[in-house]
């Protein structure tokens, strides 16, 4: 508990120079995760980092994605994700964290695109962390947190990406950021690499977090001990930090860490977000989204419920049962007719 309290308060306020002998910190309550502002008279020791590399001179980094279950669509997404990571010319390992029920035939293929396969168990969660109508979709999503045990393999930093992503350019510079790092959700976003803090997640009149990070890509420091504490929390139905949310694991992590570094949308580009940022409203206006060129994008994130893998599977099934799947072209025409703001406005 002491480690958790110290770590949660370790975010020095910008307006504090320490000249009066009192150091001021912002952070989050280690129990309920609501924002705190604390003045203390002694400087806490820096929080311990991932335990896997103590005493080693050269840190080890890795790109990681997590695959669980037996769905063919998940397998295809992981295969494309791994291929993209391998093809970008990175100096670092690519690790697939997978549950033990992933079929051997899947792993045989995935072993050709990832440098390491790491088997893990599932992580369940309590129902208080799940929004009702989407609960079945996210039942096992906290299994992604198993990546935090990779300090056992000697990694001090990892870039965790969702399987529904496609990396098209090298992203090794992300390891230079302060962990944890992720893209802040919402219309207003800070500069790439700058920090945002826990109090930004909450709005007046609402006790749950009104924004947070997008977990499509995150820079994390693995720590098995910290993971064990997280598992205790997310399986405890009475824990005071819990609240319903549509993205359970990303909102939990948003609340868990008191301070984040922002990752630009060019590393987490979601095509459907163009519609919102093209709207003629100051609330949705975001200069980077509106001026981003295709060649600036380093990773695409297919975060909608319908994904490219769905058409691949439909085409394969059609060859067996004789059905006629919807083509990508017809889908594109439908979206253009429904969302005309996509066309002729945005840079991408």
The mean pLDDT of 269-286, rounded to a whole number, is 60
Please give the pLDDT value at position 346: 45
Kindly tell me if the per-residue pLDDT of 273 is higher than 70. no
Where residue 55 falls among pLDDT bands split at 50, 70, 90? very low
Given a cut of 90, whether residue 218 has pLDDT beyond it is yes
Residue 186 has pLDDT above 70, yes or no: yes
**3-18 pLDDT per residue, tens:** 454 454 455 555 555 5
Residue 169's closest CA among 89, 251, 260? 89
CB 99 within 8 A of CB 68: yes
Portion of the chain with pLDDT greater than 70, in percent: 61
**CB environment 141-151: b (16+ within 10 A), e (fewer):** bbbbbbbbbbb
Q: What is the pTM of this model?
A: 0.77
Q: Write 330-336 long-range contacts (CB < 8 A, 24+).
A: none
Contact 24, 11 (CB under 8 A): no
The mean per-residue pLDDT over the stretch 318-340 comes to: 59
Closest CA relative to residue 106, chosen from 133, 156, 71, 135 = 71
Q: Is the pLDDT of residue 267 over 50?
A: yes
Domains defined for the chain, CATH in brackets: 2-45 (no CATH), 58-267 (3.90.550.10)
Reply yes or no on whether the pLDDT at 45 is more than 80: no
Most confident stretch, 55-64, 185-194, 223-232, 298-307: 223-232
pLDDT in tens, 153-171: 999 999 999 999 999 999 9
pLDDT at residue 53 in the model: 41
Answer whether residue 260 shows pLDDT above 80: yes
Q: Give the whole-angstrom CA distance, residue 310 versus residue 279.
A: 29
Distance of CA 241 to CAs 29, 85, 87, 207, 321, Å? 9, 35, 40, 10, 49
Of 27-36, 97-106, 219-228, 332-341, least confident by mean pLDDT is 332-341
Q: Which residue has the higher pLDDT, 247 or 87?
A: 87
Given a cut of 90, is residue 1 above it in pLDDT?
no
- Helix-helix angle 308-321:72-87, to 10 degrees: 130
Q: How many beta carbons lie within 10 A of that of residue 59, not counting itself?
A: 14
Closest CA to 97 of 73, 78, 72: 78
Sign of CA dihedral 149, 150, 153, 154: negative
Q: pLDDT grade, residue 238 (50/70/90)?
A: confident
Instruction: Classify burial at 31, counting beta carbons within 10 Å of its beta carbon; exposed 0-12, middle 13-18, buried 19 or more.
Output: middle
Mean pLDDT of the chain: 78
Lowest pLDDT segment from 35-44, 46-55, 126-135, 311-320? 46-55
| pLDDT given at position 89 | 93
Place 119 in a pLDDT band, splitting at 50, 70 and 90: very high
- Residue 196, beta-bridge partner list: 260
Alpha helix positions (H), 10-153: 72-87, 104-110
- Across the range 288-297, mean pLDDT stands at 77
Give the span between the Cα atoms of 189 and 289, in whole angstroms. 10
Contact 154, 50 (CB under 8 A): no
Taking phi first (over 0 means left), then psi (-120 to 50 degrees means alpha), and beta for anything else, what does residue 205 get?
Answer: left
pLDDT for position 5: 44
Which pLDDT does position 263 carry in this prediction? 97
The predicted structure's pLDDT at residue 136: 57
Residue 51 has pLDDT above 50, yes or no: no
């Amino acid at each position: 508990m002491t480690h958790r309290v110290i770590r949660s308060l370790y975010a020095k306020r910008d307006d504090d120079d320490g000249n009066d002998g009192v150091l001021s910190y912002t952070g989050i309550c280690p129990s309920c995760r609501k924002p705190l502002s604390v003045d203390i008279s002694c400087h806490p020791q820096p929080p311990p980092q991932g335990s896997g590399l103590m005493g080693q001179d050269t840190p080890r980094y890795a790109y990681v994605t997590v695959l669980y279950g037996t769905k063919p669509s998940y397998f295809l997404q992981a295969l494309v994700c791994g291929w993209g990571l391998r093809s970008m010319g990175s100096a670092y390992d690519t690790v697939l964290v997978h549950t033990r029920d992933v079929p051997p035939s899947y792993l045989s293929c995935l072993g050709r695109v990832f440098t390491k396969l790491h088997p893990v168990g599932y992580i369940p969660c309590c129902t208080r962390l799940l929004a009702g109508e989407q609960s079945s979709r996210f039942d096992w999503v906290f299994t992604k947190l198993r990546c935090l045990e990779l300090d056992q393999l000697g990694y001090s930093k990892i870039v965790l990406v969702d399987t529904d992503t496609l990396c098209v350019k090298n992203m090794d510079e992300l390891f230079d950021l302060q962990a944890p790092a992720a893209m802040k959700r919402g219309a207003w976003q800070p500069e790439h690499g700058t920090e945002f803090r826990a109090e930004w997640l909450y709005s007046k009149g609402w006790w749950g977090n009104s924004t947070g990070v997008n977990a499509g890509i995150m820079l994390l420091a693995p720590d098995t001990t910290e993971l064990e504490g997280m598992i205790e929390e997310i399986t405890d139905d009475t824990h005071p930090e819990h609240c319903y949310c549509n993205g359970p694991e990303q909102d939990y992590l948003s609340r868990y860490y008191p301070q984040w570094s922002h990752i630009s949308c060019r590393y987490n580009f979601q095509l459907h977000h163009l519609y919102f940022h093209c709207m003629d409203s100051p609330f949705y206006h975001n200069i980077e989204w509106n001026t981003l060129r295709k060649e600036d994008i380093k990773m695409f994130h297919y975060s909608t419920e319908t994904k490219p893998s769905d058409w691949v599977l439909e085409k394969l099934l059609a060859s067996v049962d004789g059905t006629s799947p919807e083509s990508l072209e017809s889908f594109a025409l439908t979206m253009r007719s429904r969302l005309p703001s996509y066309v002729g406005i945005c840079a991408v």
